[in-house]
Amino acid sequence: MTAVPSDVPDLPPPADVHVVALPLRTRFRGLTVRETLLVRGPSAWGEFAAFAEYPDDEAVRWLAACYEAAYGSWPAARVPAVPVNATVPAVPADDVPSVLARFPGCTTAKVKVAERGQSLADDLARVAAVREALGPGGAIRVDANAGWDEAQAVDALRALAGAGLEYAEQPVAGVDGLARLRVALARAGVDVPVAADEVVRRASDPLAVARAGAADVVVVKAAPLGGVAALVALATELRESYGVLVTVSSALESSVGLAAGVAAAAVLDAGRAEGLATAALLAGDVTASPLLPSGGRVPVRRVAPDPALLGRWEAPPERQAWWRERLTRVHGLLAARGGSAA
């Protein structure tokens, strides 16, 4: 899918590798701390942030994206900043205004729903609070992270549609599941577009969802796809060959990794809100100047960590060892493939 410049660089020396554990403001994706590994290269800093449960062969693309940033270059941006959406975790409805306050100027919000241990009533209250805060002109996206089965998704989206949804992200699991759900929603008269995320992020064939007609929108992330160049190529093919819209999102990285998604969105310049304001979900970042939204936009720029913050958020020794061993293994896989993350 992408190739690291000059094939694969040597394994970075220990002094250029930093493992951090960044606290989150609110539990998100089941996490309260986001662990990630940063690499200092000759071009800039890169980030290797494949989630801990991902196997090595799936993490290869994430490392290719890290090396693209650290050792290579990104395509030239077409705009200096990109519009972004607020992200509302599965918080109580009363907490929604304080969450949205972290995303100044954002008129689009992505709202987490189908949280384990919560009910549809919780989702309805949260989405209603977002609608009240944004007003009638704001756009709302919901993200279920495949938390519903098909029948639950139809019922839930029928109930949530009254809030006026731009789309529902990954309401059910699998490409086939999304395709069946689109048919079921049409039969039920529920006019909510469907977006695909996990079935692209973790797919060996990211175009399968488009060929199956399983989504109206595809959510793409730079790291899981192998980097900025790979994301731009995929997004262009989705748009030109399949007429599918794309939203560029983050993988809950630090501002170092987030910069890659912003760079990709600035090349595509879709003019729609992207899911790239997630630095606001972190209670700690590796830079004193994180990529936070202002006026509903995030600027396009590289980010270099502050040494003091690398020290402050340094992961415990056992987690540093785990990440460094993982880096060595995944580096070996990438090298064995000649730099190809496909």
Catalytic residue from among 40, 112, 182, 331: 112
Tokens of 229: 């160049």
Write the DSSP assignment of 123-157 as a string of letters: HHHHHHHHHHHH-TT-EEEEE-TT-S-HHHHHHHH
Return the closest-CA partner of residue 123 out of 133, 110, 131, 113.
113
112 counts as catalytic: yes
d(CA 144, CA 219): 13
Tokens 């729903």 belong to which residue?
A: 113
d(CA 336, CA 332): 6
Handedness of CA 92, 172, 269, 74 (dihedral sign): positive
Tokens of 59: 């993490």
221 counts as catalytic: yes
Instruction: Please state the residue numbers annotated as binding site for Mg(2+).
Output: 143, 169, 197
Catalytic residue from among 110, 141, 201, 221: 221
Tokens of 188: 């039920």
Return the closest-CA partner of residue 326 out of 1, 54, 68.
54
Contact (CB, 8 A) for 249 and 275 = yes
Other Cβ atoms less than 10 A from the Cβ of 187: the count is 9
Write the DSSP assignment of 280-302 as a string of letters: GGBS--SSSS----BTTEEE---
Instruction: Please state the residue numbers annotated as binding site.
Output: 143, 169, 197
The residues annotated with a catalytic role in the active site are 112, 221
